[in-house]
């Protein structure tokens, strides 16, 4: 039976309908299937690919091909070995903060794991950007990856190695074992199109992209200002840009690219990418979204409060697992929500006046976030909103509400799947590109005005919140988002676009 090996510092996603159980039923010859996981270590990201290993997710396309997913090469910082994890959970009270579990999630038992040793990054400047840290983690792990694949291929035939968007250095190891490398691209086709064209842009454009007066145009995508491109390309002298360009140049060497989007969401971009003969095969396999596994105790207070609110009246305010605001911005957001007079559920974190992703590699902020709110805010809004420190389960707000979002692609897909319109508030990574797509292309979101100093002030916050909840424009956005919700559901139906894309890929792996 052919096998797949997944090395990843990547984000974890959920296949919503089409990818069903890799494990649980017998295959030809009585062998049981193994489940898949690809991941990297933030809590929000780390909950995404969980579903690819869940028993309630059945990948028909792969079941039909008798392909087994049998190993995952992971970093110890993200997953503890199962026995150590159990030992730590026996002392659960010592590993909580404000009632929230600080331990990494348990790895599913049905996957064979190879735990890679931690990689020293002490030589990097503080703070080194995320792209640099992730890229160097993979690059400095190549020897142990090679040893792991050598051991694995001694007894099993591996048909593919799937790497993260910053894991292309592992291609070299894959080729040594005659294994074909693939990329799991965790965001959308618009960003993928930019990655495709970045090497030529790097040669043809002098100066910084953010200083361009004309919008950039990529085939099949809405035009975009250079200042709205990904964070790592905004400073071309930074190591993060050099690493990003390094990976972009290697994308053409992949055998194929799986993108977490679906054809109905980005039809023009998909057509353009598939027509390129100088580019690997592209497979749209989304929407892959978070599999929520919060415990009833963790959700109790929030669900009770939500149940007491009028149906669809709550604005969910969240900046993802890593997003942070400055202290000034927290005050302006608080006052803007209060001025809007609308109900809200706000996941608040302690401020960072230096970077917008201060909690990206940590589970929680250390200080009590509630202490940074304006004096009297909680008392004045106690009948209007609920403020939750650090983390909130993302279940009930999706049923029928609205979202103020940092525009992380995972969060956007969750909104699409549940038909929830948005207010865009991009912070880092590719989030500004995502926001442009939502507002100018899909027309399912409103955007506040950012001042030259990067602050969104209370008056404008109140304006967009009222517009989304009460205004005619908000009704139009909601109608368009409901159409996308239906398209997302169809993508994983029988003969749906993503189901067919997965079937095509699975058949290719089977025939390899």
User: Residue 408: helix, strand or coil by DSSP?
Assistant: coil
Helices (H), 205-253: 239-250
Please tell me the distance from the alpha carbon of residue 130 to that of residue 321, in angstroms, as a whole number: 14
Q: For residue 238, is the peptide bond before it cis, meaning its omega torsion is within 30 degrees of 0? A: no
Q: Would you say 468 and 219 are in contact if contact means Cβ atoms under 8 Å apart?
A: no
Query: For residue 143, what pLDDT is reported?
Result: 93
Measured in whole angstroms, the distance separating CA 165 from the mean position of its chain's CA atoms is 12
Query: For residue 29, what pLDDT is reported?
Result: 40
DSSP assignment, residue 402? Answer: E
Query: For residue 15, what pLDDT is reported?
Result: 33
Query: For residue 38, what pLDDT is reported?
Result: 35
Q: Which of 339, 355, 333, 485 is nearest to 423 (CA)?
A: 333
> How far apart, in Å, are the Cα atoms of 491 and each of 15, 409, 496?
11, 17, 4
Q: Per DSSP, what are the bridge partners of residue 181?
A: 161
pTM of the complete model: 0.85
Backbone phi and psi for residue 408, each to the nearest 5 degrees, phi listed first: -65, 145
Q: Per DSSP, what are the bridge partners of residue 72?
A: 6, 113
Backbone phi and psi for residue 380, each to the nearest 5 degrees, phi listed first: -70, -30
Say what angle helices 239-250 and 130-139 make with each other, to 10 degrees: 60
Kindly report the CA angle at 266 between 274 and 242, in degrees rounded to 5?
A: 70
Please tell me the distance from the alpha carbon of residue 389 to that of residue 324, in angstroms, as a whole number: 12
Give per-10-residue mean pLDDT for the chain (512 aa): 57 32 34 35 43 42 46 49 46 41 52 76 90 93 90 86 91 94 95 98 98 97 98 97 98 97 97 92 91 54 84 90 92 98 94 66 63 97 92 56 93 93 97 98 98 97 96 95 96 93 90 82
User: Residue 256: helix, strand or coil by DSSP?
Assistant: strand
Please tell me the distance from the alpha carbon of residue 421 to that of residue 2, in angstroms, as a whole number: 42
Query: For residue 289, what pLDDT is reported?
Result: 84
Please tell me the distance from the alpha carbon of residue 429 to that of residue 442, in angstroms, as a whole number: 20
Residues with Cβ within 8 Å of residue 253, at least 6 apart in sequence: 168, 171, 181
Helices (H), 233-391: 239-250, 267-275, 296-307, 327-340, 377-380
Query: For residue 468, what pLDDT is reported?
Result: 96
Query: For residue 109, what pLDDT is reported?
Result: 57
Query: For residue 393, what pLDDT is reported?
Result: 58
Query: For residue 105, what pLDDT is reported?
Result: 53
Q: How large is the C-alpha radius of gyration of the chain?
A: 22
Q: Would you say 285 and 498 are in contact if contact means Cβ atoms under 8 Å apart?
A: yes
Measured in whole angstroms, the distance separating CA 194 from the mean position of its chain's CA atoms is 18
DSSP assignment, residue 441? Answer: I
């Amino acid at each position: 039976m052919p096998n797949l090996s997944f090395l990843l510092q990547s984000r974890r996603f959920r296949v919503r309908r089409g990818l069903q159980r890799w494990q649980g039923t017998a295959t030809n010859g009585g062998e049981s299937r193994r489940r898949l996981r690809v991941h990297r270590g933030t809590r929000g990201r780390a909950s995404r690919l969980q579903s690819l290993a869940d028993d309630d997710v059945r990948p028909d396309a792969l079941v039909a091909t008798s392909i087994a997913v049998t190993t995952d090469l992971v970093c110890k910082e993200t997953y503890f070995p199962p026995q150590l994890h159990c030992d730590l959970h026996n002392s659960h009270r010592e590993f909580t903060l404000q009632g929230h579990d600080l331990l990494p999630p348990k790895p599913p038992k049905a996957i064979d794991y190879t735990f890679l040793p931690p990689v020293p990054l002490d030589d990097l400047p503080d703070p080194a950007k995320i792209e640099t840290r992730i890229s160097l983690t993979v690059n400095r792990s190549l020897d142990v990856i090679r040893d792991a694949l050598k051991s694995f291929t001694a007894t099993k035939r591996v048909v593919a190695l799937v790497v993260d968007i910053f894991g292309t250095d592992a291609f070299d190891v894959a080729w040594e074992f005659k294994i074909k490398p693939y990329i799991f691209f965790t965001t959308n086709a618009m960003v993928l199109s930019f990655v495709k064209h970045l090497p030529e842009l790097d040669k043809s454009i002098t100066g910084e992209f953010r200083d361009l007066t004309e919008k950039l145009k990529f085939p099949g995508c809405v035009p975009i200002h250079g200042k709205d491109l990904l964070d790592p390309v905004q400073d071309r002298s930074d190591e993060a840009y050099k690493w990003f360009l390094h990976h972009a140049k290697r994308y053409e060497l992949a055998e194929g690219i799986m993108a977490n989007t679906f054809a109905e969401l980005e039809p023009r971009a998909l057509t353009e990418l598939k027509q390129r003969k100088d580019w690997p095969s592209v497979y749209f396999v989304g929407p892959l979204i978070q599999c929520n596994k919060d415990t009833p105790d963790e959700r109790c207070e929030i669900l009770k409060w939500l149940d007491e609110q009028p149906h669809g009246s709550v604005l969910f305010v969240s900046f993802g697992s890593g997003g942070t605001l400055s202290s000034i911005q927290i005050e302006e957001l608080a006052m803007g929500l209060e001025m809007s007079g609308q109900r809200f559920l706000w996941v608040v974190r302690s401020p960072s006046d230096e970077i917008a992703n201060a909690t990206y590699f940590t589970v929680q902020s250390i200080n009590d976030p509630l202490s940074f709110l304006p004096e009297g805010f909680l008392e004045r809004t106690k009948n209007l909103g609920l403020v939750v420190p650090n983390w909130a389960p993302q279940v009930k707000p999706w049923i029928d509400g609205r979202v103020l979002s940092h525009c992380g692609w995972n969060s956007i897909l969750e909104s699409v799947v549940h038909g929830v319109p948005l207010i865009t508030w991009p912070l880092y990574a590719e989030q500004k590109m995502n926001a442009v797509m939502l507002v100018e292309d899909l027309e399912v979101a409103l955007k506040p005005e950012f001042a030259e100093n990067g602050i969104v002030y209370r008056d404008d916050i109140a304006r967009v919140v009222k517009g989304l909840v009460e205004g005619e424009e908000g009704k139009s956005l909601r109608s368009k988002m409901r159409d996308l919700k239906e398209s997302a559901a169809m993508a994983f139906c029988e003969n749906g676009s993503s189901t067919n894309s997965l079937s095509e890929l699975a058949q290719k792996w089977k025939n390899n």
